[in-house]
Structure 1
């Protein structure tokens, strides 16, 4: 195994720690790893060889620079390009949030939260397939339990890589899960329905019957309609896909009970929100609903002293 390194310059401001936590969501996450200094993930080349990327921030939030280390078998320029493309998506390093910050500076409610977490960038999960698997796994569960289910998939079906500090796994590809045994998934605490949904989508992609790139090209309403035609996909999962998979940062997944709870506490609302009233509540910031969603996640993690 060999290492190569390169530097990336994110659009400022940028904080790797905050961005990694929005990507991880919970400390239990084993596939998007963060040790307080470095973000690590296992990726897979087109010909099926796993490799590890390690990212550290060596610049300041206002003049950011990232040092990227690639560890794998015979790292080459193609592997470098793949790593950079993945990190641009995973860490949102090329995104500009100038409009959001201008709005936040004029908004007394939003300004303190935006200031506290300035430098976070909205990440996207590594692939459309990974986004759907995450969403289905987390349906009707706490986020912690959902992440643990995803961990079990990664450790059982993801390609393994021997890192300096242990064996870690890449997120399973569609072909890795297409023939997964339903009874085995049930033993891993997946419901029978979730197991069928995940393997069904994996099979459809692996066999060329489902192309999520086609859905990605649709507008919001058409994309949601097309996604909801798939077994196991409802409105929450579809909106989650638009935000976390497609990077449509105006989307606030209003069926997300945890997010609604965060919103209720932040706004000091006396009554519980539903789908419609959630949209009414975020109306002042509707162009940035997904950024509100992510900032409230960071606020919750901060209140739990998971991040500082």
Structure 2
């Protein structure tokens, strides 16, 4: 979810679910060690619990990134070995590292030595021509021997040769039973499943086999999905904010962030799906995507977008 689940996105998602573990976008360990760590790592305390997701393949550099991140107070540090993006392959991190499980294990050991936070790994079921039975078991067993605290497994292969990153999200077939078998074999190590999960009904079915479910694009494009998570999976029946309350909270947040130099559209872009399925949703998205980019745009844009929904009548009953 590079360029997606930034701190503005996570603030929004935390308004909708109090208990779900939120993940940062993947951050290159080199950007933390050699760049502006504050820009990459700062987050609002209300985001807890939140995991930092790192990309990299240099054990020493990843360890140093963990030491720097320690002071920011993340609840978990995750090494991403599942992203098929061209730009991560060129930097020798992401899914291409599934071909080098011993190197990934060295990274995990170094990270564990550098932090007392749980260190986890996110991977695919395999890459290219790997056999997903033998190679995935070998990869997972190597992570276990390195002391990994949990695994997140995307139930698709990543084809690094021949498919674009976008195609890798849809073309390789999903193989949920393969992940179920892995989870059962690794128990009691927590093993979570990811990939193509679009509804909470599907998530509940997966939880009959796995320790957890990771939602990505489904939660991003339809964020109100998260408003049902706490009651359904965590037993928290407290009311969640309705759309008007969410928009008001985000307006207050945007006002504070703009005083610190943030652009309104950098916040509004994560909110486009809030009104999905409601009358006026199209105008809501248009206002949030276009008006938020105008010079001097402020949180009043959110009020106009909400008004487009609230003043649009429901279709007449037949």
Q: TM-score, normalised by structure 2?
A: 0.29
Which has the bigger relative contact order, CA under 8 A and spacing at least 6? 1
Which structure: larger Rg?
Answer: 2
Compute the TM-score of the two structures, normalised by the length of structure 1. 0.29
